[in-house]
Amino acid sequence: MKFQGRLIPDKSEEGRSCLSRNILAIKTIGGIMKKIVMILTLLAAALIQNGWTARPAGPGDNFRLVVLADRTGGANQKAFEMVLRDIEWMKPDLVVTVGDLIQGYADSAGTVKDWDATLPMLKALSCPVYLTPGNHDITTPEVRSIFIKKTGRNPYYSFDHQNSHFIVMDNSLVETLDKMDPAQIRWLEKDLRSLRNRSGIYIFMHKPFWAAGVGAGQPDKLHDLFKRYKVTAVFAGHWHNYASEVIDGIRYVVMGSSGADIGPSENISLAGFYQYLWVTVKDGKFSPALVRAGNTFDLDHVSLKEETFAHQIPTKAVFVDGPELIEGRKLSSLEAEVRIKNPTDKPIKTEILWETGQNWKAVKNSIPVEIAPGDSLKSVFRFKGSGTLYPLPVMKMSYPFGRDKFYNLEMSPNVTRILECPRAKKSPAIDGRFDKNEWLGAGKIADFCGWDGNPASADPTQVYFMHDGENLYIAAVCRDTVMAQLKAAKTVRDDQVYNDDCIGFLFAANKDTVYQMYVNPASTVWDQLIDNTRDDLDQKWNGGFQAKAQAGEREWVLEMRVPLKDIGLPVLNKAAEMRMNIRRKQQRNNQSALWMYDWSYQTKNFGVVRFK
């Protein structure tokens, strides 16, 4: 008789031979195998019906990938549409971005609106698009949920395409690798550890942390992971400048721009053009190419060394020094000392050209330049003026280097503006009402310029300064011909005040540390501390500032008390001074008024405050 698929022998069969028993065993195993095959067949049918298919073997991977660079900040919409059009013509199988798809830096409602306006643009592509979060896409922890809702994905995630694995990381809110969430690093390692026999592993992140790590010969825990788990390539963006290297067999790529404004002209030698990366994977082999509007370029068109050198030319190879100018005085003449270094192994042959407005006239407009390797040049240029500082003369020069590369320079003399800050006879009331008697004798700044070095297009601004030995007192009178359009939406400390009408300050008692703040007409303060030694920002830092602003009929006024110890000056001696820059932002016409036109954290380009 049979019981659960096995033969139960009768007593009469006990004496049968071993051969008979073996035959019975084979029949039993055959029955079991038939049932197993039937179960597996039914399971496979169910999985296929629900959309699952077996992943092909690695050598069979065949697909076309596009890596899309930054669209923002400062989007050129026509350029972005051109890039999308070119990509769609090429019909890739999937597109992965490196971040900064939206402009961002708005409140929650503005961020939602930005996504709603931008995401439909991707409908121009007929393939799946996977988004990497950039610092414009996720600007604060609060808008992270908007990214998740609008993209349908967490800020960091992974997915498979055929037998290749894709990992998207999130470094949108941090500036250095050591600030990344340890939980994300643990997730990354777990994800990599789980992979077996993949034909390719591709990593995407917005900020290229590897450039300051393994790319600069420094310890890099991410690179160690990538190397251990045999990552194929790592893609990033953020710089809007292209660079690529192969390190320990891993292809690292920093994408340029797919729509972020690159300025009025291209620089093909430095890959300064609108671009995307076309990746062909055939039989599991990874083959990338850099593409510019229907043109392809060698992936090593610009090395990391060349990009780094080019970026440093205006700060470490070419200097245009101007005179000092004490506020309230006029310049009738100007001397500009140009110093050019040639640290390369090739001679520099170029020309210096000067362009001036009606307020300055050059004694000599141009000179030829020839500098031997390792040598330098110093030349003084003189200008006669009308007493109006801006626009400053502009020096133009093409700096050649490397493999037939060149860097186009446009630099003005660095006129160091000096504000003499007197001691207050009596501390002013911080009430947002500008009382001329209270600010009598204060140091005054009223001459501002725009980004291009021309006179500021924003409405007139006057800023007054005094001190009492312990505090710096500031009054800003910001004229506005259309006060009804004054924007002052931010009311919470450290909210994005810089998106309102506001006035901002950079203070530096030394070159290593910069204190930055913006204040809007609602008296709301945003501030942060910048560590130049680590290229790091601390947005949790708060100074003990007292600020009060009020809006009138024709201007808004800000008055502030800034404890000097909070900006790096605990004690004032007779020779005490600090570096400073000022920026007023007028939102209705998108204009900025700058004291020193280089609004950056390079303290050598700040003006000087001398305490009296």
Domain of 536: which CATH number? 2.60.40.1190
Single residue among 412, 434, 469 that ends a domain in this structure: 412
Answer yes or no: is pLDDT of 37 > 90.
no
pTM (whole model) above 0.85: no
Q: Is 612 exposed, middle or buried (0-12, 13-18, 19+ CB in 10 A)?
A: exposed
Kind of pairing, strands 276-282 and 62-68? antiparallel
Single residue among 412, 431, 448 that ends a domain in this structure: 412
The pLDDT, as a whole number, for residue 611 is 96
Specify the 3-state DSSP secondary structure of 174.
coil
| 109 found inside a domain | yes
| 102 found inside a domain | yes
Write out the two tokens for 552: 């009138």
At 487-528, the pLDDT tens digits run 999 999 999 999 999 999 999 999 999 999 999 999 999 999
Percent of the chain with pLDDT over 70: 90
Looking at the structure, do residues 218 and 285 belong to the same domain, yes or no? yes
Residues 6+ apart with CB under 8 A from 601: 506, 514, 530, 532
The pLDDT, as a whole number, for residue 30 is 52
Residues 6+ apart with CB under 8 A from 376: 339, 340, 341, 342
| 403 found inside a domain | yes
Single residue among 412, 436, 469 that ends a domain in this structure: 412
Write out the two tokens for 184: 């994300």
The pLDDT, as a whole number, for residue 293 is 78
For residue 214, the enclosing domain spans 58-302
Looking at the structure, do residues 225 and 282 belong to the same domain, yes or no? yes
Fill in the amino acid letter for 267: N
Q: Is 421 exposed, middle or buried (0-12, 13-18, 19+ CB in 10 A)?
A: buried
Tell me the sheet residues that pair with 82: none
Residues 6+ apart with CB under 8 A from 519: 497, 502, 503, 504, 525, 526, 547, 549, 558, 560
Q: Rounded CA gap, 76 and 135, in Å?
A: 18
Domain of 250: which CATH number? 3.60.21.10
Residues in the chain: 612
Residues 6+ apart with CB under 8 A from 76: 259, 260, 261, 262, 274
Looking at the structure, do residues 393 and 489 belong to the same domain, yes or no? no
Domain of 381: which CATH number? 2.60.40.10
At 353-401, the pLDDT tens digits run 999 999 999 999 999 999 999 999 999 999 999 999 999 999 999 999 9
Q: Rounded CA gap, 236 and 168, in Å?
A: 10
The pLDDT, as a whole number, for residue 31 is 55
Looking at the structure, do residues 95 and 185 belong to the same domain, yes or no? yes
Fill in the amino acid letter for 504: G
User: If you average pLDDT over residues 224-240, what whole number do you get?
Assistant: 97
| 460 found inside a domain | yes
Q: Rounded CA gap, 321 and 324, in Å?
A: 10
Looking at the structure, do residues 231 and 84 belong to the same domain, yes or no? yes
At 250-279, the pLDDT tens digits run 999 999 999 999 988 999 999 999 999 999
Q: Where are the alpha helices (DSSP H) in 50-176?
A: 77-90, 108-118, 144-151
More confident residue, 244 or 597: 244
Residues 6+ apart with CB under 8 A from 612: 420, 421, 422, 423
The pLDDT, as a whole number, for residue 48 is 35
Looking at the structure, do residues 459 and 385 belong to the same domain, yes or no? no
Count of structural domains within the chain: 4
Mean of pLDDT over the chain:
90
The pLDDT, as a whole number, for residue 452 is 82
Q: Rounded CA gap, 26 and 399, in Å?
A: 85
Residues 6+ apart with CB under 8 A from 207: 135, 171, 172, 174, 175, 236, 237, 238
Q: With contact defined as beta carbons under 8 Å apart, do 47 and 231 qualify? A: no
Looking at the structure, do residues 450 and 559 belong to the same domain, yes or no? yes
Answer yes or no: is pLDDT of 26 > 80.
no
Looking at the structure, do residues 284 and 348 belong to the same domain, yes or no? no
| 315 found inside a domain | no
What would you measure as the largest C-alpha separation in the chain, in angstroms? 128
* Nearest partner of 98 among 209, 198, 23, 6, judged by Cα: 209
Residues 6+ apart with CB under 8 A from 202: 65, 96, 164, 165, 166, 167, 231, 232, 233, 234, 235
Q: How confident is the model at residue 73 (pLDDT cuts 50, 70, 90)?
A: confident
Looking at the structure, do residues 360 and 391 belong to the same domain, yes or no? yes
| Number of neighbouring beta carbons within 10 Å of residue 559 | 27
The pLDDT, as a whole number, for residue 435 is 95
Looking at the structure, do residues 444 and 494 belong to the same domain, yes or no? yes
Kind of pairing, strands 62-68 and 6-7? unpaired
| 308 found inside a domain | no
Looking at the structure, do residues 151 and 230 belong to the same domain, yes or no? yes
| 310 found inside a domain | no
CA distances from residue 28 to 5, 33, 271 in whole angstroms, order as listed: 7, 9, 71
The pLDDT, as a whole number, for residue 60 is 65
Answer yes or no: is pLDDT of 5 > 70.
no
Phi, psi of 87 (to 5 degrees): -65, -45
Q: Is 36 exposed, middle or buried (0-12, 13-18, 19+ CB in 10 A)?
A: exposed
| 465 found inside a domain | yes
Looking at the structure, do residues 241 and 264 belong to the same domain, yes or no? yes
